[in-house]
């Protein structure tokens, strides 16, 4: 693969405008077993729920075999077959309310080739800036990783979560995974098509979305320390979680005064690691 040619994608930008309608927020609330009636016009949108908007609306004829949009276009045409959202670094500058009209500017910030335990990998970092009337409300750097599909699934070495101050069990099932895929218009078949996930991408089951794990951690943190507002949020995937796992979310106070957060399977191995920084009171 000519990774030097992929550098020409750095700096590419696209601009989108969207209105934060109540429908997606109400549907997300229902999927997370929250009250949809709490999300009418002018209600505050929870952190990270902007992922329900500015969705990539791609015609059926432009969808690839994995359910993602075909390669090329805004993102570089990387040929490695497996694509995953590896992690993000987010900063929050003010509340977003249902009914707001927002502008999202997305820029390809970096394209990096590496070699991992499964072979060649390419990381694409995309910078997203959200604003309302010219004032920023959220910024995110998102890392997308492309890699080969192995002949046999082999999980990364487990990272123990360690002792947490609180732990909550999360009910993960195929219905939740399907609903989250629908809400984010994410066609990647590893989340809802079991034969494809197991036979083509060699996973042992349906894969729990990375952004779903990130939202579950954020929602748990807000329940544990209500009334606080996030200023920063960083997360990265360590190990896949599957629909058959006994999934939990847990957290503890970090050295900086925020929270260290984790999703974990039934053996206590971390699926996602996150750090949340609270805004000053």
pLDDT of 138-154, one tens digit each?
Answer: 999 999 999 999 999 99
Q: What is the pLDDT of residue 5?
A: 86
Q: What is the pLDDT of residue 116?
A: 76
Strand runs (DSSP E) across 93-185, as ranges? 101-116, 119-132, 135-147, 166-169
Is the pLDDT at 118 greater than 80, yes or no?
Answer: no
Is the pLDDT at 1 greater than 70, yes or no?
Answer: no
Q: Three-class SS of residue 217?
A: helix
Q: pLDDT grade, residue 275 (50/70/90)?
A: very high
What are the φ/ψ torsions at residue 211 (nearest 5 degrees)?
Answer: -65, -30
For the chain, domains (ranges, CATH) are 3-278 (3.10.129.10)
pLDDT of 46-98, one tens digit each?
Answer: 999 999 999 989 999 999 999 999 888 899 999 999 999 999 999 999 999 99
Q: Are 250 and 261 in contact (CB under 8 A)?
A: yes
Distance CA 124, CA 10 (A): 9
List the beta bridge partners of residue 99: none
pLDDT of 12-28, one tens digit each?
Answer: 999 999 999 999 999 99
CA 219 to chain centre: 14
Q: Are 277 and 231 in contact (CB under 8 A)?
A: yes
CA angle 46, 52, 54 (to 5 degrees): 120
Distance CA 259, CA 278 (A): 8
């Amino acid at each position: 693969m000519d990774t030097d040619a992929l550098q020409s994608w750095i700096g590419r930008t696209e601009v989108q405008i969207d209105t934060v309608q109540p429908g997606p927020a109400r549907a997300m609330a229902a999927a997370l077993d929250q009250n949809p009636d709490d999300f009418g016009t002018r209600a505050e949108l929870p952190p990270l729920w902007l992922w329900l908007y500015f969705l990539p609306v791609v015609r059926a004829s432009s969808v690839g075999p994995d359910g993602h949009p075909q390669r090329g276009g805004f993102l570089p045409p990387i040929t490695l077959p497996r694509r995953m959202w590896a992690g993000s670094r987010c900063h929050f500058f003010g509340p977003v309310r249902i009914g707001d009209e927002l502008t999202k500017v997305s820029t390809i910030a970096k394209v990096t080739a590496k070699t991992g335990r499964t072979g060649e990998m390419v990381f694409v970092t995309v910078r997203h800036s959200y604003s309302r009337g010219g004032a920023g409300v959220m910024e995110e750097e998102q890392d997308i990783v492309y890699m080969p599909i192995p002949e046999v699934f082999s999980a990364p070495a487990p990272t123990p979560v360690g002792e947490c101050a609180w732990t909550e069990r999360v009910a993960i099932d195929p219905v939740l995974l399907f609903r989250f895929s629908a809400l984010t218009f994410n066609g990647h078949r590893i989340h809802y098509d079991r034969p494809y996930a197991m036979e083509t991408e060699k996973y042992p089951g349906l894969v729990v979305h990375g952004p779903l794990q990130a939202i579950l951690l954020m929602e748990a943190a807000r329940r544990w320390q209500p009334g606080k507002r996030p200023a920063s949020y960083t997360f990265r995937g360590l190990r896949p979680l599957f629909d058959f796992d006994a999934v939990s979310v847990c957290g503890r106070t970090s050295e900086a005064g925020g929270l260290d957060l984790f999703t974990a399977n039934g053996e206590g191995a971390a699926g996602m690691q996150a750090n949340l920084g609270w805004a000053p009171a």
